[in-house]
Structure 1
Amino acid sequence: MNKWIRKSAVVLISVLTFGLITPTQLITNVNAENPSERDTVEGARLGSYGQEASYFNEAEVDKDKFIEDLVKQAEMQSYQKFGTRIKPVIENEFREIVMPNIEKALQEIANQFPTEDLLNLAITESPGKGQSEKIFNIKNNNTNTDVLRFHVRRDNPPQAGYWFNFHYHTYHDGFQSHHELGSIYWDKNTPPKWMS
């Protein structure tokens, strides 16, 4: 009977939070009857800096770790945007050509903020669907404004097929200039919609 109640709680909370709390996290927390202090601290550190800001203080922020976490989230958001039809075709080139440039852009923006302000930066969690260019944004949670916007545009130059042009915009110029991250060739045929 006790296991049935636990399983029901997992399903109910997953539905009510629209997936923000994953069943794996909940099962781990429900099954851990006597969590140690180490487990509690380790669990808090697994989240992104921006989402778990209350668990960090200025002395604990490590810029390299912060950037590493953002890069992982950026890669996951990108693959989510590509969907199951585009990802297998461009994944390797994306990882080799574009991801190193995304990492450089994230390092540059992290260097522009004091260490204590890094806690306020977070990555958005909803890439644009269909024809939308948005992959993800880096947002300042204190001001609720975007700092960087990462996009991918479909280009179709005459007689050259379709290309995915990856770029980003910064708040410095009101998101006007394109900062190139790289381009990946798709095919002569029209690519499927994002997240399909």
Structure 2
Amino acid sequence: MAIWLKKSFFVLISILTFGLVSPSQAFLNEEGHALAKSNGKPSSVESAEEEIHQEETVLSREEFLEQMKEQAEKNSYVKFGTKIKPAIEDEFRSVILPKMEHAIEQTALQYEEDLSSLVISEVPQYAKTEKIFHIYDKRSGKDVIRFHVRKDHPPKDGYYFNFHYHTIHDDFQTHHDLGSIYWDKNTPPQWMSVS
């Protein structure tokens, strides 16, 4: 595809989405390689992009896990919003997050050679879904593990947040429990609610 056509397409998408969607790293790398071939020498911007891409693929297992754990915690707090987070943050951090991290570690063991292809999805903007985030293989686009939270309300009891995950190994059918956090007798606010 011609470079001018790619650039035109990129500009059109940028205008239509008003910056809500960023271009994929693959698109940027492909464009950089095309320019490098046509000029004979890569520019400093292209060289920097290539170095960033190379650094991403050279992550050690420990660095990869640390990044995944940080992103998992961040995405969880985005899901909770500023109304729910302060009430459950301490218990989430001490009880649920370590179990979530363990599940991520176990998943990473199965992808030892290909950790660079695993990425965490964004937190969905629709507030009623259970999804916190999914870890998926960016080559195939298929989910590997899905982390969810739902609001439970047992009869004659208060509300609980039930954290769990599903894996690709049983086609996401089994409910792997991470634990529950009690909210209150009152109905909790919507996910991502701000104070």
TM-score, normalised with respect to structure 2: 0.72
| 59, 62, 67: which one aligns with 1:61 | 59
Structure 2 SS opposite 1:136: strand
1:135 matched residue in structure 2: 132
Structure 2 SS opposite 1:154: strand
Structure 2 SS opposite 1:91: helix
Matches within 5 A, 1:136-175: 136-175=133-172
Displacement after TM superposition at 1:126 (Å): 2.5
1:123 matched residue in structure 2: 120
1:28 matched residue in structure 2: none
Matches within 5 A, 1:29-68: 44=52, 52=53, 54-57=54-57, 60-68=58-66
2:19 matched residue in structure 1: 17
State how far apart, in whole Å, the 2-side matches of 1:104 and 1:128 are. Answer: 26
Displacement after TM superposition at 1:20 (Å): 4.9
How many residues get paired?
Answer: 156
Q: What's the CA shift string for 1:106-153, capped at 9, x where partnerless?
A: 0000001132x1110000012353221000000101111000000001
Q: Indicate the structure (1 or 2) with the bigger Cα radius of gyration.
A: 2
| Contiguous gaps of at least 5 residues in structure 1 | 1-11, 22-35, 45-51
Q: Does 1:189 align with 2:191?
A: no
2:96 matched residue in structure 1: 98
State how far apart, in whole Å, the 1-side matches of 2:55 and 2:61 are. Answer: 16
Displacement after TM superposition at 1:56 (Å): 3.5
- Inter-CA distance 74–112: structure 2 relative to 1 (3 Å threshold): same
Displacement after TM superposition at 1:19 (Å): 7.4
C-alpha RMSD of the superposition: 2.4
Q: What's the CA shift string for 1:57-93, capped at 9, x where partnerless?
A: 4xx3311110110010011111001011111111111
Structure 2 SS opposite 1:122: strand
Note if contact 1:133-1:153 (Cα within 8 Å) is conserved in structure 2. Answer: yes
| 175, 178, 184: which one aligns with 2:175 | 178
TM-score, normalised with respect to structure 1: 0.72
State how far apart, in whole Å, the 1-side matches of 2:111 and 2:151 are. Answer: 32
State how far apart, in whole Å, the 2-side matches of 1:194 and 1:84 are. Answer: 9
| 102, 105, 108: which one aligns with 2:106 | 108
| Contiguous gaps of at least 5 residues in structure 2 | 1-13, 24-43
State how far apart, in whole Å, the 1-side matches of 2:124 and 2:146 are. Answer: 11
Structure 2 SS opposite 1:165: strand
Note if contact 1:135-1:151 (Cα within 8 Å) is conserved in structure 2. Answer: yes
